[in-house]
Amino acid sequence: MDKFESKRTTLEQELLQSCSDAQRDMIFRLELLVLDHPNLQQYASANNALSSEALLKLYKDLNGNTKHESFQDYYLFFNVCAYFRFLKARKWNVDAALQFMVEFCDWRQRVKPYDVKASDVQDEILTKKCYICGKTKKNYPIAITVPRRHISIKRKVDQCTQFVYYMAEKVVRAMIENNVDKFVMLVDTRKTGLQNMDLLMVKTFISIANMYPETGSKMLIYKPNIVYMQMLKIAKGLLDPQTSNKIEIISKDEDLLKFIEASSIPKEFGGENDYIFNPYLELGVQGLTPAESETDLSHVASNLNEEDVEREMAKLAKEADVGIDVLEGASDDLD
């Protein structure tokens, strides 16, 4: 029985209705453990939030009020959708899900990803390598990522890592605004070359993404070339099968229409959306527009055969300390 039924948001109610009886029971068990767990209460108290009494008040008062000072923390792990995500990430083991939540709270308190400001990652924003644009048919926000704008020899690891935190929190805010619990990543892999391959940052991205379990609905890989396909094989070797299954290859523009309305697809992907990301607006600077031109290094990729790419990727994997077992285990994954 749901003791907080009258206080659930619409999104929580819809999720509970879609669950089996056994899943609902595990969600309610986890919720009671969260309410009573001293570490989680300590985290809640340190973030203006949520003693048991305060949490119950939040259930009653929020009703979708995303402006509440504690809403982002509430959204991430003090509600039914979060309990579902953590349980699913730990294969519906209640004790393991609770431990994951404790680890997540410890990580969040230590790293403080929510404190990263645009000015802290200005260089990364100006590359236009990642931004949010539009929504899917299910109202999930879309994070567009452009690997060709990431030059591995030019990046600074600390700022690049901070940028991943910045974008993760930005995506969470977009999910809150859309009243959904997932997002979609659209990866524009056109003209990607070896100079864009950065396995160290791929590992970093995956480790951070793991702290936001089950928030990604799909990763749409748009028109991958030979270089990116090899990179994807390695990346899939670092992912669990459940996450790997969310990867979809988009070979033609019309394939995007399965997930996104034409009105939300930017024109550069064959859609009708006129939106062009302006990093200066993101940084609060008015009156400036980004340069249209990019360094075209596509010839670097087009001159390589599969053996060349595999050899270069093996070198990069060694430098990033990605084991040879990952390379071998992923070798046939996407063929």
Domains of the chain listed by start with CATH number = 5-111 (no CATH), 118-290+297-329 (3.40.525.10)
Q: Residues 136-166: pLDDT tens digits? A: 999 999 999 999 999 888 889 999 999 999 9
Share of the chain above pLDDT 90, in %: 40
- State the CB neighbour count (10 A cutoff) for residue 92: 15
Lowest pLDDT segment from 118-122, 234-238, 319-323: 319-323
Q: Could you tell me the two tokens for 120?
A: 């802290």
Say if residues 68 and 62 touch (Cβ distance below 8 Å). yes
- Side-chain-side CA neighbours of residue 169 (13 Å): 17
Question: In Å, what is the CA distance from 223 to each residue of 125, 189, 289?
Answer: 24, 6, 27
Share of the chain above pLDDT 70, in %: 73
- State the CB neighbour count (10 A cutoff) for residue 1: 6
Q: Is the pLDDT of residue 44 over 60?
A: no
User: Residue 117's pLDDT is what?
Assistant: 92
User: Residue 93's pLDDT is what?
Assistant: 97
Question: In Å, what is the CA distance from 283 to each residue of 119, 193, 286?
Answer: 7, 28, 9
Give which of 14, 144, 27 is closest to 93, Cα–Cα.
27
pLDDT category of residue 110 using cuts at 50, 70 and 90? confident
Q: Is the pLDDT of residue 184 over 80?
A: yes
Say how far residue 56 (Cα) sits from the centre of its chain.
29
Average pLDDT over residues 104-116: 87
Q: State the Cα–Cα distance between residues 204 and 187, nearest whole angstrom.
A: 17
Average pLDDT over residues 281-306: 60
Give which of 131, 155, 164 is closest to 290, Cα–Cα.
131
Say if residues 143 and 131 touch (Cβ distance below 8 Å). yes
Strand partners, 26: none
Average pLDDT over residues 30-48: 70
Give which of 162, 309, 152 is closest to 225, Cα–Cα.
309
Q: Is the pLDDT of residue 229 over 60?
A: yes
Residues near 107 by beta carbon (within 8 Å), at least 6 away in sequence:
211
pTM above 0.85, yes or no: no
The DSSP annotation for 111-179 comes to H-GGG--GGGGHHHHHTT-EEEEEE-TT--EEEEE-GGG--TTT--HHHHHHHHHHHHHHHHHHHHHHT
User: Residue 77's pLDDT is what?
Assistant: 64
Residues near 126 by beta carbon (within 8 Å), at least 6 away in sequence:
279, 283, 290
Q: State the Cα–Cα distance between residues 190 and 202, nearest whole angstrom.
A: 18
How many residues are present in the chain? Answer: 335
Q: Is the pLDDT of residue 260 over 80?
A: yes
Q: Could you tell me the two tokens for 319?
A: 């430098």
Say if residues 81 and 181 touch (Cβ distance below 8 Å). yes
Q: State the Cα–Cα distance between residues 37 and 217, nearest whole angstrom.
A: 30
Tell me which of 6 and 327 has the higher pLDDT.
6
User: Residue 29's pLDDT is what?
Assistant: 92
Say how far residue 266 (Cα) sits from the centre of its chain.
20
